[in-house]
Chain A
Amino acid sequence: MDIDVLAHGIVAGSLYALVAVSFNILYRPTNVFNFAQGELVMLGAMIFASLTSLAGMPWLVAFAATLITVGCIGLIEERIAVAPILARSQTGTGWVITTLATSLIISNFVGRFWGPDPILVKPPALLSMESLDILSSRISSYEIALILVTLVLVLIVERIYRTLKGKAVMAVAEDREAALLRGIDPGSLGRWSFFLGAAFAAMTGILASPVLYASTSLGPDLLLKGFAAAAVGSIGNNRGALIAGYVIGVTEAVGASLLSPGYQEAVIFIVVLAVLLLKPEGLFGSPNARTV
Chain B
Amino acid sequence: MSRAVIPIAMQLAALAAALALPAFVGANSYALFVATQLGIYIIAAIGLNLLAGYAGQVSLGHAAFVAIGAYSVALLTVDHHWPFWAAAVVGMVLAAGLGVLAALPAFRLSTWYFAFITLAFALVFEKMIVEWRWLTKGFAGVVSVPPPSAFGYEFGPRPLYYTIVAVTVVAFILVRNVVHSRFGRAFVAVRDVEPAALAVGASPQRTKLVAFVISAALAGVAGAFFAVQKTVVTPDDFTADFSIFFLLTVVLGGLGTLWGPIIGALVFFLIPELLAGLQSWRMLIYGGMLLGLMLFAPHGLYGALRQAWRRMAPANPGANAAASEAREHPPIAGLALDITGLRKQFGGVQALDAVDLSVPAGSCCAIVGPNGSGKTTLLNLASGYYVPDAGSVKIGDVEALGSGAQKIAARGVGRTFQTPRLIADLTALDNVMLGAYTRERAGLLATALRLPSARAETRRLRQEALGFLQFVGVADRADVEAGEIPHGQQRLIEIARAMMGGARLILLDEPAAGLSMSELERLERLIMRICGLGATIVIVEHHLDLVANVASHVTVLDRGVVLAAGKPSAVFNDERVMRAYMGDRALKAGVPA
Q: Which residues of A contact B (CB under 8 A)?
A: 33, 35, 80-81, 84-85, 88-89, 91-94, 96-98, 100-105, 107-109, 112, 220, 224, 227-228, 231, 260, 262-263, 265-266, 269, 272-273, 276-277, 280, 289-290, 292
Contact with A along B228-255 (1 / 0, CB 8 A): 0000000000001000100100010001
* Cross-chain contact B291 with A265 (CB below 8 angstroms): no
* Cross-chain contact B115 with A98 (CB below 8 angstroms): no
Question: What 3 A-B pairs come out closest when comparing CB atoms?
Answer: A104-B287, A92-B111, A276-B105
* Cross-chain contact B290 with A101 (CB below 8 angstroms): yes
Known: A35-B115, A292-B195. A112 touches B294 (CB 8 A): no
Known: A84-B295, A85-B294, A104-B283. A276 touches B106 (CB 8 A): yes
Q: How far is the CA of A100 from the CA of B241 in the complex (A)?
A: 12
Known: A91-B111, A220-B240, A276-B113. A102 touches B287 (CB 8 A): yes
- Measured CB to CB, the nearest residue on chain A to B110 is A92
Report A-chain residues with C-beta under 8 Å of the C-beta of B195.
290, 292
- Measured CB to CB, the nearest residue on chain A to B291 is A101
Report A-chain residues with C-beta under 8 Å of the C-beta of B116.
33, 224, 227, 231
Known: A35-B115, A93-B58, A276-B105. A105 touches B417 (CB 8 A): no
Report B-chain residues with C-beta under 8 Å of the C-beta of A33.
110, 112, 116
Report A-chain residues with C-beta under 8 Å of the C-beta of B192.
89, 91
* Cross-chain contact B121 with A269 (CB below 8 angstroms): yes
Report A-chain residues with C-beta under 8 Å of the C-beta of B280.
112
* Residues of B117-135 contacting chain A, CB below 8 A: 117, 119-121, 123-124, 127-128, 130-131
* Cross-chain contact A273 with B385 (CB below 8 angstroms): no
Report A-chain residues with C-beta under 8 Å of the C-beta of B287.
101-105, 108
- Measured CB to CB, the nearest residue on chain B to A109 is B284
A256 vs chain B, min Cβ distance (A)? 12
Known: A97-B58, A262-B127. A92 touches B112 (CB 8 A): yes
Q: How far is the CA of A98 from the CA of B247 in the complex (A)?
A: 12
* Cross-chain contact A97 with B294 (CB below 8 angstroms): yes
Q: How far is the CA of A84 from the CA of B284 in the complex (A)?
A: 21
* Cross-chain contact B120 with A292 (CB below 8 angstroms): no
B165 vs chain A, min Cβ distance (A)? 30
Size category of the binding interface on chain B: 35 or more
* Cross-chain contact A91 with B284 (CB below 8 angstroms): no
6 residue pairs bridging A and B, Cβ less than 8 Å apart: A91-B191, A98-B294, A101-B288, A112-B280, A112-B284, A273-B102
Q: Decide yes or no whether B470 CB sits under 8 A from chain A.
A: no
Q: How far is the CA of A247 from the CA of B93 in the complex (A)?
A: 34
* Cross-chain contact B386 with A289 (CB below 8 angstroms): yes
Report A-chain residues with C-beta under 8 Å of the C-beta of B111.
91-93, 96
Q: How far is the CA of A179 from the CA of B430 in the complex (A)?
A: 35
* Cross-chain contact B120 with A96 (CB below 8 angstroms): no
* Cross-chain contact A85 with B295 (CB below 8 angstroms): yes
Q: Decide yes or no whether B56 CB sits under 8 A from chain A.
A: yes
B141 vs chain A, min Cβ distance (A)? 17
* Cross-chain contact A269 with B124 (CB below 8 angstroms): yes
Not counting A33-B116, A92-B115, A265-B124, a sample of 12 additional A-B residue pairs whose C-beta atoms are within 8 angstroms of each other reads A93-B56, A93-B58, A93-B111, A96-B112, A101-B289, A102-B291, A262-B127, A265-B127, A269-B121, A289-B387, A290-B194, A292-B376
Q: How far is the CA of A104 from the CA of B60 in the complex (A)?
A: 13
- Measured CB to CB, the nearest residue on chain A to B288 is A105
Taking a contact as CB atoms closer than 8 A, the residue among A227, A280, A289 that contacts B109 in the complex is A280
Q: How far is the CA of A263 from the CA of B127 in the complex (A)?
A: 8
Q: Decide yes or no whether B21 CB sits under 8 A from chain A.
A: no
Report A-chain residues with C-beta under 8 Å of the C-beta of B525.
none
- Measured CB to CB, the nearest residue on chain A to B286 is A104
* Cross-chain contact A81 with B115 (CB below 8 angstroms): no
Taking a contact as CB atoms closer than 8 A, the residue among A94, A104, A266, A276 that contacts B244 in the complex is A104
* Cross-chain contact A224 with B58 (CB below 8 angstroms): no
* Cross-chain contact A272 with B286 (CB below 8 angstroms): no
B286 vs chain A, min Cβ distance (A)? 6
Q: Decide yes or no whether B298 CB sits under 8 A from chain A.
A: yes
- Measured CB to CB, the nearest residue on chain A to B58 is A96
B277 vs chain A, min Cβ distance (A)? 15
* Cross-chain contact B120 with A224 (CB below 8 angstroms): yes
B93 vs chain A, min Cβ distance (A)? 20
Known: A88-B298, A277-B105. A105 touches B113 (CB 8 A): no
Q: Decide yes or no whether B544 CB sits under 8 A from chain A.
A: no
- Measured CB to CB, the nearest residue on chain B to A27 is B112
Q: Decide yes or no whether B380 CB sits under 8 A from chain A.
A: yes
A291 vs chain B, min Cβ distance (A)? 8
Q: How far is the CA of A263 from the CA of B132 in the complex (A)?
A: 10
* Cross-chain contact A93 with B52 (CB below 8 angstroms): yes
Q: How far is the CA of A103 from the CA of B380 in the complex (A)?
A: 40
Contact with A along B279-311 (1 / 0, CB 8 A): 011011011111100110010000000000000
Interface centre among B115, B255, B418 (most CB of A within 10 A): B115
Known: A101-B287, A231-B113, A272-B120. A292 touches B298 (CB 8 A): no
